[in-house]
Amino acid sequence: MPQTLEPLLRGHKFFAGLEPAHLSLIVSCAANEVFPAGSFLFREGEPAQTFYLIREGRLALEIAAPGRGSSVGALVVQTLGEGDVAGFSWLIEPHRWEFDGRVVERVLAVRMDGTCLRDKCEDDPRLGYELMRRFARLAANELQATRLQLLDVYGHAHDR
Amino acid sequence: MARPGWIEPQFWHVSETRQEAPDVVTLGLTPAGRFEFLPGQFNMLYQPGIGEVPISVSGDAADTGHILHTIRDVGPVSHALCALRPGQRVGVRGPYGTSWPLAVAAGGDLVIIAGGIGLPPLRPALYQALGQRERFGRVVLLYGARTPDDLLFTDELSAWRARFDLDVYVTVDAAARGWRGDVGVVPDLVRRAPFDPPHTTAFVVGPEIMMRFTVRALRAAGVTDDRMYLSMERNMQCAVAMCGHCQLGPFLVCRDGPVFGYPQLARWLAIREV
Amino acid sequence: METVNARQPHSTEPGQSLTGPVVFQAAALDQLLDAVKRRGFRLIGPVVRDGAICYDDIASAADLPRGWTDDQDAASYRLRKRDDDALFGYNVGPESWKKYLFPPHARLLPTERPPDEPYAFLGVRSCELAAIAIQDRVFLGGRHKDPHYEARREGALIIAVNCGEAGGTCFCASMDAGPCATDGFDVVLTELLGEPGHRFLAEAGTGRGAEILGEVGTRPARAEDISAAHAASQNAIASMGRVMPELDLHQLLAENYGHPRWDDVAARCLTCGNCTMVCPTCFCFSVEDISGLSTSETGGDAERHRSWDSCFTMDHSYLHGGPVRASGRSRYRQWMTHKLGTWFDQFGTSGCVGCGRCITWCPAAIDITEEVAAIAADP
């Protein structure tokens, strides 16, 4: 029996609860990838037609910030690891990556092809709804976390 | 003749100081007499002519000759305390307040969740748990700070990480590229940490906002309200339930806290300006 | 949690009063005061001062506010001449006995010496006895006692006076704190003005009180004296100027932190804190540090002081750079919910004795009984 990526998809938190029929539909949009430490999965501004299910390792979402963030001039806004998903921009115009995705520790990921997925969703709106639900939940989570970071709750000695 | 009663501090010597972060210092004090405390309790530390502030004891409760306080420099009193040198003295009254209920956690998993300067009041609980390790299932430490420079007890964090009987997850709100750890918020650590929610007790300390978000994440994970404990802060002046400043609704934080079970606190946390 | 028992006029508890009620002529009041002074007490009683009846050192009955009464209403206090010679014909003024037991200012470090002479308080109303009992719980009833309060309280001699008439802002009856004094005193007096003459019905509450009464020319009380006294308290009960709604205030307030009435009262409240200054049970204090040229790491000439504080100040709830209770709304709510509600959680009783001072001395005429009624009407 040929090895498919279905077990990898099924095992990832993001697709938990997705019907087996839907999983089978989308497995052809998936590809298994390995990224060595220091490499980039994506760069700010590049076209975004994919998203990644992180299976192992650590990915840093970074933004170039001249003058800030050490001699390399980049700040890390979030790190992602096992069970996380990187990428919404494939869903939303203008389909461009908003951050750099740099590998901190070797990343094993499943790359999902956004164009392929969108086509499947057109054919099966129910699948589309399931994916939207998951991305909405993800986005809400990210928003909450971002707001918590923004609130800068820990303060700083200089802010008296 | 008037008795000094609750008012008069003892003066203890500073035996050591340690700079934990740019604005955080740990003072090691030698008690003037016999002194015992429970994890979670605090002392009032006094600098004559400047003032007195409540500071949680941050060391090991089993080490009664060596009492640690980890202090953040945010005002005139804490500034003076952070500037103390070994051999100098500080006024001490205490211990006061309620303590972490380790007994409740026994038999299950213990998750200790600290945000920023919330780690010092939890460290004695962690020491106590590690000292009776067999009483617990998994013991997990989740710790978040503003930036890597603000992380406290970094040597110990490394040592704790190396243990097989303790899971340690650390995150920061923001970092420059040199940081190889997580960047993100503590509630997200809750989502990822390995513990068995129905059999877990959580101790949480940090800024109020962080504690509320963390409780939400704990609930979402399946931890029950009656096994969550928070440490609260209010303006404290007497520490003996007489000056009225530390009121939080029906509670006097110096007497009914600082450690509270979440169920009794829940409705008060939801009311603004209480 | 105890509840204050319903008050019976003139009940003497078994073993407490040793001789039963007695009567002495009003003119003989100085015999009582002399007996007190002979025992080395510093005698404090009511005097007319600054247009009000305040508490101050007194030397004799001549210092008392003979023939004066007080007309009180929300935001209004006026002294008025009576058409008789009553010595205690008023209710309560802006001061309370906390002025002596918990002075507005005290030095904590270096330890301050307690006063040389113990206090004797003359003219303590039933509501004030209840207020003293409430402050006893705060300062003496917990794990830690306050040495300043203890030193002033433990020797204090209390001569209570029953009210024959209630004031315009009084509501002690509906707070179960009066108008009859039932315990907490050494001697209790009821002033009687009718036939057969201006006299006092007196009862001892302690052995010490009985001894003192024993040095006054008294005769046993007759039925007519007792019924006159009873009529006086009935009159007091009937003339209460306000009434606190009879409800579980603890529960009502706990469930109404979001009530729109708080916005309503906030629009009127100046957060001046008068209510907390005149309230006989308010106990908040702030601690202040003073340094000198010789301040050292163990003190030297450094001092710690405490002064009355008020939950209406912006600093009261200061934490991490700002107050927890910034809005006037939240500060008024704090005061009222504490006084009538969370005081039960913290100290086991209500914090309010129905003396009405907060109503009288509020420049905005805010009436705590009215605020409760408004919340209760629409919870």
Q: What's the confidence (pLDDT) of residue B211?
A: 94
Residue A117, CA distances (Å) to A51, A139, C245, C350 in order: 10, 18, 67, 67
- CA-nearest residue to B150 within chain A is A156
Q: Give the model's confidence band at A71: pLDDT under 50 very low, under 70 low, under 90 confident, else very high.
A: low
A160 occurs within a structural domain: no
Furthest-apart CA atoms within chain B: distance in Å: 65
> Would you say residue A27 lies in a domain?
yes
Task: Please list, in sequence order, all residues whose beta carbon lies within 8 angstroms of the beta carbon of residue B57, skipping any fewer than 6 positions away.
Answer: B37, B39, B41, B42, B43, B67, B68, B69, B94, B95, B121, B124
**Ranges for all domains in chain B classified under CATH 3.40.50.80:** 102-221
Give percent above pLDDT 90 in chain C. Answer: 90
> d(Cα A41, Cα A97) in Å, to the nearest integer?
10
Candidates A40, A54, A148: best to mutate against B (most CBs of B within 10 A) is A148
pLDDT at A92: 82
Higher pLDDT, A72 or C332: C332
Q: Would you say residue A51 lies in a domain?
A: yes
Per-residue confidence of chain B (274 residues) as pLDDT tens digits?
Answer: 445 689 999 999 999 999 999 999 999 999 999 999 999 999 999 999 999 999 999 999 999 999 999 999 999 999 999 999 999 999 999 999 999 999 999 999 999 999 999 999 999 999 999 999 999 999 999 999 999 999 999 999 999 999 999 999 999 998 887 888 999 999 999 999 999 999 999 999 999 889 999 999 999 999 999 999 999 999 999 999 999 999 999 999 999 999 999 999 999 998 989 9
Q: What is the pLDDT at residue C19?
A: 67
The span from the CA of C365 to the CA of C260, in Å, is: 19
Angstrom CA distances, B82 to B19, B24, B65, B88, C315, stand at: 9, 7, 21, 12, 24
Q: Is residue A155 part of a domain?
A: no
First to last CA, chain C: 25
| pLDDT at residue C52, rounded to an integer | 98
Residue of A nearest to B72 (CA): A157
* pLDDT at residue B5, rounded to an integer: 83
Q: Backbone phi, then psi, for C253, in 5-degree steps?
A: -75, -40
Q: Which of C180, C114, C136, C125 is nearest to C158 (CA)?
A: C125
Q: Mind listing the pLDDT tens digit for each residue in A90-132?
A: 888 888 998 899 999 999 999 999 999 989 999 999 999 999 9
Q: Which of B147, B149, B173, B186 to mutate to test the interface with A (most CBs of A within 10 A)?
A: B173
Q: What is the mean pLDDT of residues C166-191?
A: 97
Task: Single out the residue of C68, C86, C88 nearest to residue C77, CA to CA.
Answer: C68
Structural domain of residue A73, as residue ranges? 6-150
Dump strand ranges (E) for chain C: 22-25, 42-49, 52-57, 68-73, 76-81, 105-109, 119-124, 157-161, 187-192, 199-204, 219-220, 285-290, 295-296, 299-300, 303-308, 318-319, 322-323
Residue of chain A with shortest Cα separation from B210: A153
What is the rounded CA–CA span in Å between residue C374 and residue A5? 67
Q: What's the pLDDT at A75?
A: 84
Predicted confidence band of residue C377 (pLDDT cuts 50, 70, 90): very high
Q: pLDDT band for C206, please (50, 70, 90 cuts).
A: very high
Is residue A159 domain-resident? no
Q: What are the φ/ψ torsions at residue C279 (nearest 5 degrees)? A: -65, 130
Cβ contact B22–A157 (<8 Å): yes
Rounded to the nearest angstrom, the minimum Cα separation between B171 and chain A is 9
Three-state secondary-structure class, residue A59: strand
Residues 26-55 of B with CB under 8 A from C: 47-52
Q: Grade residue C320 by pLDDT with cuts at 50, 70 and 90.
A: confident
pLDDT for the residue B178:
83
pLDDT, average across residues C200-228: 96
Residue C82 pLDDT greater than 60, yes or no? yes
Contact C25/C198 with Cβ under 8 angstroms?
A: yes
Q: Is B162 on the interface with C (CB under 8 A)?
A: no
Reported as type and span, the H/E element at residue B143 is: strand B139-145
Q: What is the pLDDT of residue C123?
A: 98
Instruction: Extract the tokens encoding B230.
Output: 């928070």
Chain B residues within an 8 Å CB radius of C292 = 49
| Topology adopted by domain B10-96 | Elongation Factor Tu (Ef-tu); domain 3 (2.40.30)
B: neighbours with 3+ CB pairs under 8 Å?
Answer: A, C
pLDDT over threshold 90, residue A63: no
- The set of chains that have 3 or more CB pairs under 8 A with C is B
Model pLDDT, residue B230: 98
> Which chain B residue's Cα is nearest to A155?
B146
pLDDT band at C4 (very low <50, low <70, confident <90, very high): very low
pLDDT for B180? 86
Cα Rg of chain B, angstroms? 18
Tell me the residues of B at the A interface, defined by beta carbons under 8 Å apart.
22-23, 72-75, 115-117, 144-146, 150, 171, 173-185, 187-188, 192, 206-207, 209-210, 213
Q: What percent of chain C has pLDDT over 70?
A: 95
CA-based nearest residue to C84, from C186, C199, C171, C254 = C199
Domain B102-221 carries which CATH code? Answer: 3.40.50.80
| CATH number for position A129 | 2.60.120.10
Question: Which residues of chain B neighbour C304 with C-beta distances below 8 Å?
Answer: 7, 52
CB within 8 Å: A81 and B192: yes
What's the helix, strand, coil split of chain B in %, to 5? 30, 30, 40
What's the pTM value of the predicted model, to 2 decimals?
A: 0.89
- According to the model, what pLDDT value does residue A156 have? 59
* B183/A153 touch (CB, cutoff 8 Å), yes or no: no
When divided into structural domains, chain A yields a total of: 1
Place of tokens 């003192």: C212
Report how far residue C272's alpha carbon sits from residue C75's, in angstroms, rounded to the nearest whole number.
Answer: 13
Smallest Cβ distance to B183: which of A72, A78, A151?
A78
Residue C14's pLDDT band (cuts 50, 70, 90): very low
- Whether residue B8 and residue C289 make contact (CB cut-off 8 A), yes or no, is no
